[in-house]
Amino acid sequence: MRKSHKIVLATLAMALTSGSAFAADLITVPTTTPVELPVYENAGFDWNGFYAGVYGGIQNSPAGDMQYGLGAMAGVNAQFDFYLLGAEVGVQGIAGGNTNTSYGQILGRAGLVVSDNVVVYAAGGYGIDLGVPEESDVLLGGGVELAVTDNVSVRAQYLHGFPLNGDNPKDQFTVGAAFHF
């Protein structure tokens, strides 16, 4: 074998053996642990706690014409899994028909959280005409409430007033918004 062939073979042998060493050097072991990506869990709206809001509505009774009202409400909710229990007080000014008056109500609410941001509920309680205190009602009805931001919800509610004192049954439909604390 010629001397030049021996040199080429020796160079090739060295290149092959040194190449495998270089390949092993390219594999590096990480010295840091990988960073975990944050996991976003959409837990839905938090119905628990206090809220306050405003509402407007219409009220109809056989004793008078259609009346319109604006009111304020405050309440508290407690959520247990997909059940919701709550209590609320409200007062509204009513105008139209034969009289202008104000109306106060105390309600209990029980409902179901049907999705992350929607509650369907039944309501019952006591209402009194603050202008004519001899008129009071047992209130029964229900509604639906929808969370529109992290702290704000809107609702539509229907209540029927069965007269305790006086002879004036009422049908009340309201739409409102509440800020949850």
pTM: 0.73
Rounded mean pLDDT, 1-10: 67
Domain-embedded: residue 37: no
Domain-embedded: residue 18: no
Owning domain of residue 175:
49-180
Domain-embedded: residue 58: yes
With helix as H, strand as E and coil as C, how does 116-177 read? CCEEEEEEEEEEEECCCCCCEEEEEEEEEEEECCCCEEEEEEEEEEEEEECCCCEEEEEEEE
Domain-embedded: residue 61: yes
Question: What percent of the chain has a predicted confidence (pLDDT) above 90?
Answer: 57
- pLDDT tens digits, residue range 90-131? 999 998 877 788 999 999 999 999 998 999 999 999 999 888
Domain-embedded: residue 21: no
Burial of residue 5 (CB within 10 Å: 0-12, 13-18, 19+) is exposed
Rounded mean pLDDT, 50-73: 91
Phi-psi region of 23 (alpha: psi -120 to 50; beta: other; left: phi over 0): alpha
Domain-embedded: residue 19: no
- pLDDT tens digits, residue range 80-99? 989 999 999 999 999 887 77
Burial of residue 69 (CB within 10 Å: 0-12, 13-18, 19+) is buried
For residue 160, list its beta bridge partners. 140, 171
Domain-embedded: residue 25: no
Domain-embedded: residue 35: no
Question: Number of structural domains, the chain?
Answer: 1
Helix (H) or strand (E) holding 61: strand 49-61
CATH number, domain at 53? 2.40.160.20
User: Do 71 and 100 form a contact (C-beta atoms < 8 A)?
Assistant: no
- pLDDT tens digits, residue range 19-47? 555 555 556 666 666 677 665 555 678 99
User: Do 141 and 175 form a contact (C-beta atoms < 8 A)?
Assistant: no
